[in-house]
Each structure stands twice: as C-alpha cells, then as structure tokens.
Structure 1
C-alpha cells in the first residue's frame, strides 16, 4: 500500500469530517443567533449562518446606533428572509457533495489507481474532482471578499441583508438606518467576510497542500500507467518471439 495514497485519504477524510460537521450545523439550523452570543458572533450568524426561511423561525435583533455620549437610535429588527444566508447554504451543499465524491475517489485511487484501467477510470476523475474543489474554494473566497464592502459595520450588514427593502422588518415605521448621524462611529465588522474568505480557502496553507496532493497523485498515477503500458508492450514482444 503506497504512502502517498494513505496520506491522501487521511487528509481528505479529516477535511470531509470538518465539512460534514459544519454542513450539518448550518443546514439543520444549529447556528441560529443566541442572546448569550457576543455581538460580533450574532452579526456573523445573521449574515451567513441564519436563514429564517429555511429554519422556519425568527430572531429578534436589538439594533442600536450611538456614540460615546448617548444612544441616538434603538429598535428591534427581525429578518424575515436572508438571501445571503440562503446562498451560503447552497455553497455548503456543493462543498459537501464535492468532499464526499473526493473521499470515494481517493479510496478507489488507492485500491485501483495502479491497475490497467485505473488511470482513466479512477486517477483522472480523482484529479478532476480535486481541481474542481480547488477552483470552488477560490470562487467562494472571491465571493466572500466581494461582501467585504457591505459588511463594514452592523449598519452595513443589516442594509446588505435588507437589500431590496423587504427582507427585514422593524418595530417602528421609519427605516432605522436613516437616523444614523455623522458622529456615530459603528464597530468595524468587515473581518467577518474576510474570516469566511480565509476559511473557504482552507487557511491558504491547506489549499496549497491539496494542490500538491492532487498533482502528486496524478503524476504517480500517470507514471504507473505508463509503466503498465511499457510492461504490456514488452510482454507482447516476448510472446511474438
């Protein structure tokens, strides 16, 4: 049993396990906001991890604008839909699907990759799935980076979720964000989308490990395939003699 194949399976399985846990927690609505959460964690959940439509329940958010001296405005908001979180749920499903396929193909690559038909039947699909995973990671990272200008504060996040003006309801008739004064200094929360971009690229280091892992397995499979072809040609020559 080759060392590269064993390490490949181990690396892919632990990534798939993490992805499965995150997918289950997200899709089963275990990331709904909690009153005991930190303010920043609540905003993170409201932005990406909490979809009222999918979860079938509402979360009330105490939205407050103010400066160091006094409170300028306060209201209770609740998102009735969240297109950003809905998009994230679809991304999680795609991510999980690719991981599961990758695990299956990594096992097949270890057991059948060096057989006669293994290169085209196993090695190439394994490589293509790995490349698809790498590309999807980059795409997700870019999508999160594109969110950064819209997640610079709780005001920006709520406006981003509201988007069309119909996704959030509040207790007062007047739209609360219109009451923000120039001297109000919101907390910088742009790190939320940057953190998700960092995670989607697997902490950068893991992404490069996956790249070299895919490349090395392809090269090893190609070398084994060429050797099998060479051995087959030699065997045919011997039988003719």
Structure 2
C-alpha cells in the first residue's frame, strides 16, 4: 500500500440514523403526554368537576375526594357541625339509677385530600413543563446537530429528567394507595371529606377502595404508558452507551495505529567507506587530508 493512498477516517462520531428516529418518536411521545397532562390539570384547577352534575355514587365520591376542592373553587359547602360534649352529674341521690358515663362526641373529620391533590397537580405541572422543554431540545438536537459533545449533554439531560418524572409518578402512586384506609366504605369517604350534609348515596356500606386505586393508576399513567417511559429511558441509556463505546474505540485505534510516516532524506557520512564502481577491482579512496593521515 502506498503511503499517499492511505486516507485517515476523519468522519465525526454522531448518532446513527436509527438512533435519531428512536429519539424522535420518544420526544414526540413525551410532548403528547405533557399536553394531555396540561389539559387534565386545567380541568381540575378550573373547578370543572363539580359534584352537582354527578349521578353515580363513585363519580360523586371521586370528585369530592380528589377532583373538586370547595375552598379553592369558592363552593358554599355546608359542613356538619361537631356535637358538643354533654356533661351530666353522676349523683343519683339514693335512687336506683345507673350513672351516665361520659363519652367524647363524634365529630366530622376532614382530611382535605382534594386540596392536597390540587397542590400535587401544581407541582406536577412544573415538572412536566421542564420535561416537555427537554423533549423539544432532544427533538431539535438529534435531528440536526452533529456535535458529539452537544448530543451527549442533551441525551444525559433528557435521561435524568425522565428518570425524575418516573420516580415522582411512582411515589405519588404509593401515596394515593395509602388513602385506601380512609375509603373502605362510601360513608367513610363522605365523613372524612366533609360532604356528608351535601350528598346522599344509594348504599353507604359499599367498598370504596377503588377510588384511591384508580387515582394511583392515573398517577402511573395507566401503567402501560409508564412501562413505555421506562423502555424509552432504557433506549436513551443504550444510545449514550453506544456513542461512548464508538468514541473510545476510535481513540484507541488512532493511538495504536498511527499513520505511516513519509521517508525523510538523510545525508550519510561516507568518508570512511570505500566505493567500487562496476567493473573495477581497485577501490577508490577519497583524497582528503584526513584520509591521508590515517591511511
């Protein structure tokens, strides 16, 4: 192989066409999810889920438990007043009357799960805004940019933000599953939410634990979309890993297989060498002063 025919590979390392397509549909799926979350959150924050329009029991309970906050929506809620403690003397004055034992009054308890849900939704909106901007940057960078450093930074940023969103969704799902202890029956939901005066149900003893389970599944994006997001994070991770692997491989190849250097002309010192021409048997001696001294 001639040295001049050797051409070094100077093509910069970048994303493969298949990896660019994968990043494109991942970014599109994230943007669609964020838009749906924005629309759903807007319905809750603008007080659309009023229980006055509900007819089914589970629909009413889901609205008063999570979707409708009466204080934030300026709803005139008539909360049941707590019973006052009645204290009677135990002195029977010699009569055969059993004394009355004192018991604490039963009070209406309000845990305000709807108010907490409203705060969680506001926090979720902030997180999804950041996630959507990261997806837009990923879409633009993987479509046009060929800068390896920029692509590595964008992929790492999107991966870490996506993992944070996944942890947030799973943690919120765990929090809402724990609400099942306050919703074993429909009557418990009315008592703890403070709507016992406003609403009437058909059966107060039915199991109402499906409400927190449904809310937990919604926070996990129906489990199917959550699984899709986990798979997307896995794809982004392996894309970054392949980019680093190609970069290290190319660096090692360039360090171990250096280009063949061009020959350089060097002038040899042949003053002490005897030269014989073709057909001559007597060597030719240089007639220099130094040669005459030593020879």
TM-score by length of 1: 0.73
Comparing both structures, which one devotes a greater share of its residues to helix? Answer: 1
Whole-Å Cα distance in 2 between the matches of residues 119 and 96 of structure 1?
27
Q: How does 1:105-124 map to 2 (within 5 A)?
A: 105-112=134-141, 115-119=147-151, 121-124=153-156
What is the CA-CA distance between 1:95 and the residue it aligns to?
A: 2.0
Q: How does 1:105-144 map to 2 (within 5 A)?
A: 105-112=134-141, 115-119=147-151, 121-144=153-176
The alignment covers a number of residue pairs equal to 207
1:101 to 104, 122, 130: 130
Report if aligned partners of 1:198, 1:204 keep a CA contact under 8 Å in 2: yes
Whole-Å Cα distance in 1 between the matches of residues 152 and 28 of structure 2?
23
1:87 to 91, 109, 116: 116
Whole-Å Cα distance in 1 between the matches of residues 193 and 49 of structure 2?
17
Could you list the structure 1 runs, at least 4 aligned residues long, displaced by more than 4 angstroms after superposition: 168-171, 228-241
Q: 1:145 to 1:36 in 2, by over 3 A?
A: closer
1:32 alignment partner in structure 2: 50
RMSD over aligned CA atoms reads: 3.1
2:70 alignment partner in structure 1: 52
Whole-Å Cα distance in 2 between the matches of residues 214 and 224 of structure 1?
16
Residue 14 (structure 1) aligned with residue 14 (structure 2): no
Whole-Å Cα distance in 1 between the matches of residues 27 and 243 of structure 2?
19
* Cα-to-partner distance string for 1:156-192 (whole Å, 9 max, x where unaligned): 1123325xxxxx6859xxxxxxxxxxxx861222111
1:146 to 162, 169, 178: 178
Whole-Å Cα distance in 2 between the matches of residues 193 and 210 of structure 1?
23
What is the CA-CA distance between 1:135 and the residue it aligns to?
A: 0.7
Report if aligned partners of 2:184, 2:209 keep a CA contact under 8 Å in 1: yes
1:205 alignment partner in structure 2: 224
Gaps of 5+ in 2: 1-16, 80-107, 262-295
Gaps of 5+ in 1: 62-78, 163-167, 172-183
DSSP 3-state at the match of 1:37: coil
What is the CA-CA distance between 1:49 and the residue it aligns to?
A: 0.8
Whole-Å Cα distance in 1 between the matches of residues 135 and 254 of structure 2?
30
Report if aligned partners of 2:44, 2:118 keep a CA contact under 8 Å in 1: yes
Report if aligned partners of 1:109, 1:126 keep a CA contact under 8 Å in 2: yes
Q: 1:59 to 1:232 in 2, by over 3 A?
A: farther
Q: 1:13 to 1:90 in 2, by over 3 A?
A: same
Whole-Å Cα distance in 2 between the matches of residues 169 and 190 of structure 1?
18
Q: 1:108 to 1:222 in 2, by over 3 A?
A: farther
Report if aligned partners of 1:119, 1:225 keep a CA contact under 8 Å in 2: no
DSSP 3-state at the match of 2:137: helix
1:181 alignment partner in structure 2: none
Report if aligned partners of 1:116, 1:225 keep a CA contact under 8 Å in 2: no
What is the CA-CA distance between 1:112 and the residue it aligns to?
A: 2.5
1:70 alignment partner in structure 2: none
What is the CA-CA distance between 1:145 and the residue it aligns to?
A: 0.7
Whole-Å Cα distance in 1 between the matches of residues 260 and 253 of structure 2?
10
1:179 alignment partner in structure 2: none
Comparing both structures, which one devotes a greater share of its residues to strand? Answer: 1
